[in-house]
Amino acid sequence: MRRKKIIFTVFLWHVILLIIASGAAADKLKVVVTNSAYASIAEYVGGDKITVSYIVRGNQDPHIVRPKPSLAVDLAKADLFVATGLDLEMWAPSLVDMSNNPDIRSGQKGFVSASAGMDILEQPVTISRAEGDVHIYGNPHIHTSPLNGKTIAENIYTGLKKIDPANSDYYLSNLNRFIQEIDHRTFGVELTKMIGGETLSALARRGKLIDFLKKKQYKNRPLVDFLGGWMKKALPLYGKKVVTYHKNWGYFAGLFGVNVVDYMEPKPGIPPTPGHIASVIETMRNQNIKVMLAANYFDVGKVQQVAKRVGAIPVIVALAPGGEKNMNSFFDQFDIWIDRLVKAFEKAGSDG
């Protein structure tokens, strides 16, 4: 009898603990995002008021995701769903349909388009499938620029504020910290304090930052001497030519002044043909291009093969956090991309 009582008491405690644990989890808002980079930003803005899960892993092609029912289970419980909002995640509407969660549909307060308010690059003038798997709204790989990270964070903040207005001050303070950290990490603390993150970002978005900083002086020193952060680390990349696999790097290249001369894909989404590879090799030889850049979910072997033939250095990286060792956050991805590229150019010993 006594033994039964003990067992019953232990069982009861377990049930109580489970209820408490589930209650504690339920207190937090559930945010589901498509991309692991958005997850990193959402975690920063939402802090301890939210739990975040993501669908596309950092080493996964965001175009090709099987809309598995288990992903829909996650969405069914979501308070907020963050997607790029363009035509990248064409599988996502099926998942939302499957989840039967009316609050996260397009236009509802539980849906956030991460790209809202952003200057989208490479918007096609004429939309034709003759151009391959063309994105009709422009390049959707928005998370490859730290400055876009600020807009993504602002959009996530807006979404959180809508569904949880009581904690909006908390989210706003996190957003401001995030923006400041991005500015400091992008331009360095000193220059950000001098010119202001907003102005620097605007100059950088227009591709005028480096020229401006080189042209202007302060305290009898070129302003560029005050530059820090990723922009300073990436100065050796400015104007350098690379070949990439896909149009993943448009925003990154635009910000850091990298000149993407050609792509392994003849058209977006169309696999490399032997004829096109021959043309890429010729371009690389003619223009002395010594560095190739590709996300690690592409055919790495093919990139290495081409690099070997022209004596170039292949830089294979994850496209988003979690996609490789030590790339655990939105900030890490820029550290790794820039480090690898700078080292590759140093090793190549060429101005490309």
Partner 1 sequence: MQKPVVHPIAFLVVIFSLINLRAYAQVSDKPAAVELPADAASVPIADGEKQAMQERIRKLENEVAQIRTEKEADELARLVAEADTEAKAPETETKPEERNFLWGALALQKLNPEISMSGDFLGTLIIDKKSRLYAGADDRTGFTLREAALHLQHVLDPFSMFKAAVCFAPEPHPSVGLEEMYMTWFAIIPSFSLTVGRFRQNFGIVNRWHEHDLDYVSYPSALTLTLGEEGITQTGLGIKWFMPPIFAHANELTIELTNAENSELFAGEFFSIPAALAHLKNYYDLSESTYLELGLSGIWGVNNKRGYMRDDGTINDEAWRHTFGGGIDLTLQWTPVQQAKYRSFTWRSEGFLIRKETARDSESVTLGLSESDGDRISWGFYSFINYQISTRWFVGVLGNLALPTIRIDKSIAWDIGPNVTFWQSEFVYLRLEYRHGEKIPLREANGDLTRRTDDRLLLQIDWAAGPHKHEKY
Query: What residues make contact with partner 1 under the rule CB under 8 A?
Result: 57, 59-61, 64-70, 72-73, 76, 90, 94, 97-102, 105-108, 129, 132-133, 194-196, 199-200, 202-203, 205-206, 208, 212, 216, 218-220, 223, 269-271, 296-299
The helix or strand, by DSSP H or E, that contains position 107, with its residue range, turns out to be none
Shortest reach from residue 300's CB to partner 1, in Å = 9
Shortest reach from residue 78's CB to partner 1, in Å = 12
Nearer to partner 1, 145 or 174 (CB): 145
Tokens of 242: 């690379």
Nearer to partner 1, 97 or 169 (CB): 97
DSSP label of 20:
H
Nearer to partner 1, 172 or 194 (CB): 194
The neighbour count for residue 306, using CB atoms within 10 Å, is 22
Nearer to partner 1, 126 or 220 (CB): 220
List of E strands, the chain: 29-35, 50-56, 80-83, 111-113, 217-218, 221-222, 241-244, 259-263, 291-295, 313-317
Tokens of 151: 């807009």
Side by side, the strands of the sheet bearing 29-35 are 50-56, 29-35, 80-83, 111-113
Query: Alpha carbon of 183 to those of 178, 193, 198, 225, 341: distances in Å?
Result: 9, 10, 8, 17, 21
Nearer to partner 1, 41 or 65 (CB): 65
Shortest reach from residue 64's CB to partner 1, in Å = 5
Nearer to partner 1, 70 or 126 (CB): 70
Tell me which long-range contacts 95-104 makes (C-beta under 8 A, separation of at least 24): 95/55, 95/67, 95/71, 98/67, 98/69, 98/72, 99/72, 99/73, 99/75, 100/76, 101/75, 101/76, 101/77, 103/78, 103/79, 104/32, 104/75, 104/78, 104/80
DSSP label of 235:
G
Nearer to partner 1, 2 or 219 (CB): 219
**Nearest Cα to Cα of residue 207 among 185, 226, 229, 231:** 231
Shortest reach from residue 275's CB to partner 1, in Å = 15
Shortest reach from residue 205's CB to partner 1, in Å = 8
Nearer to partner 1, 159 or 322 (CB): 322
Specify the 3-state DSSP secondary structure of 318.
Answer: coil
Shortest reach from residue 203's CB to partner 1, in Å = 5
CA 100 to chain centre: 28
Tokens of 183: 């500015």
Shortest reach from residue 326's CB to partner 1, in Å = 17
Shortest reach from residue 31's CB to partner 1, in Å = 18
Tokens of 94: 């099926």
Looking at this protein, which amino acid is placed at residue 148?
Answer: N
Nearer to partner 1, 9 or 106 (CB): 106
Shortest reach from residue 89's CB to partner 1, in Å = 14
